[in-house]
Structure formats: structure tokens, C-alpha cells
Structure 1
């Protein structure tokens, strides 16, 4: 669990700098320059991501079972993760009605993904990993929405074309990940009967 914890601190920590320490972030960009800051940020994020994956992989085998998720939780999780994939696709669209309504679709997708995994998995490793991501995404979303209001940020949505594209891309990515990549990378086949 220690390796998982280190990975989470690195990955979520570096992704929290803008929300929780914006002045420090600006001073680091001034000192290092924008390119060097992005390089340092990316390096820490990658190390954190890889450490989190490795730590979770090790922790899964020795994690304590806290509860046995009911069968229905898998079906709810599958639906929530489909919606999460759509929101992740929305995050990459230049305009979107969904982005206009909720703002910060990447964080909405992370919240849905984390919550879905929390309700459908019941070990201490799952609670640490997915609970950490959920807590981070909820806090970052609240801070980002407040910052948007203070700065008068709005999201334009001239038409629903990009929402349609996001839904198609999200559904395809969900299918590919669920059928092929999740079993290959995570070792769990979510659609196995």
C-alpha cells in the first residue's frame, strides 16, 4: 500500500497545484520558465501515474476485503463509466453543450469513474485509490467552478455537433477499453459473463 500511497501523493499532488497553490505555481513558472515548468510537471505526473499503477497492482493482492459489492453495483458502474468516457471526450471538444452546462468535463468524468469503481469494488486498495481520486476531483471541481465565477469564465456552445461527436467517441473508447484494454492492462474483464 505504501507504493500506491506515494504514487497518489505524486500524481494527485502535482494535479492539485493550480487549485490549491496558484501563487506558488506562478512563482515556479517565473523562476523556471513555462517550458521547464511543464517538463517538471509532466515528469512528476508520469512518475506518479506509473507508481500509482504499480502500487495498486501490488496492493490488490494483499488488500483487505471491506465489503462484498452487490451484483447491481457492477451494472450501475458500467453505466457510470460509459458516461465518464463521454465526459472525457467532451473535455477535448472546443465547444459543447455538455461543457457549457457543467464546466470542467474532465473532472466530471473522473468523479464518475472513481465513484463507479468505489461502489463496485470492496477492498482497502480500491477505497484508497478510487476514494482518493473521487475526493480530489470533487475538491478540484468546486475550486475550479469558484474560480470560473470569480473570473467570469463561460463556455460557448454554438451547436450540439461536438456533443454528438463526443458521444460517439466516448462510446467507442468505452467499448475498446472495456473489451480489450481493461483486461490487458488491469487484468480484470469488466464485461466477462
Structure 2
């Protein structure tokens, strides 16, 4: 039954990450919830299903694929700090290259921020999170869980690029060239915002360490 729950969780996860984003369902939901309501509702739904999926992996039968060693627990502990910093620098920022082109109208190539480093910072964070947690979780269910997320993050960027290039046309290459040229990089007064985001990233990292034993039953500090 535990494997059935794990399979069902994957089915719901894929359904909730495809159906609400496709026409005519997405326009129908946006018309009733509003753009912000749709984003908040979809984010809450995604986090809820992700929590179920992670819990289902923990309840699946334990089938070891490699032996656990104490050093493995240090990998996610170290890697999650840059993951949280990437999230803090990326969330809420305009990014025309991301899936859906978040707040493209407000994007300034001269103030691209983390987009100058990677077009898909959230996928980068997802990839690092998945690979780091794969190391100390060498059982079949968790290898499937984190392996699928790592593969999705690795190939998802290419799929998003192709879609956004079709949608944006010549504007995609023009904006990307402007971003990579480095012309007009952030002025000194922008560093206050950067420092604030970095501080929030550190706070998120500390909060995750504190909440991890209650959320997932594992203490990252041992």
C-alpha cells in the first residue's frame, strides 16, 4: 500500500503541475481568482502536494541502494545555504526568461541581478536541493524522488528556453544579449536590496534547519 501511495502522490504531483497551467483551465482560474490569487493558490497547492510526495517517499518500503555514512549528512547542510541564497535573490524578481515570464514588463536588463548568472535560478536551486539530498538518502524511494527532481531541473531549463523563445520571438535574444553584455550593472544604491535579500536567505536557511525535525523527522545537525 505504501508504494501505491507513493505512485499516487507522483500522479497528483504531475497533474497539479500541468493541468492548472494549460488552457482553458488557467484562464478560467485566473478570471475567478485574479492573477495574484491564482499564483498564491497554485503555490499553496504545489507546496501541499510536494509535502505529501516527500512524506510518501518516507513511508515507502525501505530498499537500500548504498550504505549510509555520517559525512553524507553534511552535504545537504552545506549545499542548502547557497540554495536559500539563490531563492532569496530570485523570488519576486522580474524574469522574462522563466516559465511564464514573471513580471516581464518590469524587467531591466541593466539590473538583471541573479538572472545575469542563470536564466533559471529557481531550477538551479531545485537541482542543488535534489542532488544534495540524494547523497544521504540512498534508498529506492528517495533516489526516485530526488533523482526525478534533479533530472527535471537539468532538462527543464531547455524546455522553458524553447517555449519562451517561441513566445517572445526576437525579443528573447535581444534581452538576453543585453543581460550578458553587463552594460549598466547595478548601481551602488541597489546593494541595500541585495543585502536584504541575502539576509532573508540566511534567515530561511536557519528556519529550515529549525523546522526540519518537525516537518521531515530528521535533524540536519545530527
TM-score, structure 2 length as denominator? 0.68
Displacement after TM superposition at 1:86 (Å): 1.2
Taking structure 1 as reference, are residues 70 and 142 closer, same or farther at Cα in structure 2, changes over 3 Å only?
A: farther
User: Is 2:23 the partner of 1:26?
Assistant: yes
SS in 2 for 1:171: helix
8 Å contact from structure 2 (residues 58, 142) kept in 1? no
Taking structure 1 as reference, are residues 147 and 166 closer, same or farther at Cα in structure 2, changes over 3 Å only?
A: farther
- Distance in 2, matches of 1:54 and 1:80, equals 22
Displacement after TM superposition at 1:184 (Å): 1.0
Paired position in structure 2 for 1:146: 162
TM-score, structure 1 length as denominator? 0.76
Paired position in structure 1 for 2:107: none
Paired position in structure 1 for 2:207: 176
User: Is 2:188 the partner of 1:165?
Assistant: no
Residues 66-85 of structure 1: matches in 2 within 5 Å? Answer: 66-85=65-84
| More moved, 116-125 vs 72-81 | 72-81
Paired position in structure 2 for 1:123: 139
What 5-or-longer segments of structure 1 have no aligned partner? none
Count of residues paired in the alignment = 183
CA RMSD of the aligned region, Å? Answer: 3.0
Paired position in structure 2 for 1:6: 8
Taking structure 1 as reference, are residues 136 and 66 closer, same or farther at Cα in structure 2, changes over 3 Å only?
A: same
Q: 1:108 aligns with which of 100, 124, 136?
A: 124
Paired position in structure 2 for 1:189: 219
- Distance in 1, matches of 2:89 and 2:44, equals 26
Larger helix share, 1 or 2: 1
Residues 30-109 of structure 1: matches in 2 within 5 Å? Answer: 30=27, 32-36=28-32, 38=38, 45=46, 48-59=49-60, 62-94=61-93, 97-109=113-125
Taking structure 1 as reference, are residues 46 and 84 closer, same or farther at Cα in structure 2, changes over 3 Å only?
A: closer
Q: Deviations over 1:22-75 (max 9, x none)?
A: 7xx133335x3524584985686366335314412312xx21111014444333
- Distance in 1, matches of 2:29 and 2:213, equals 41
- Distance in 1, matches of 2:44 and 2:91, equals 22
Higher Cα Rg, which structure:
2
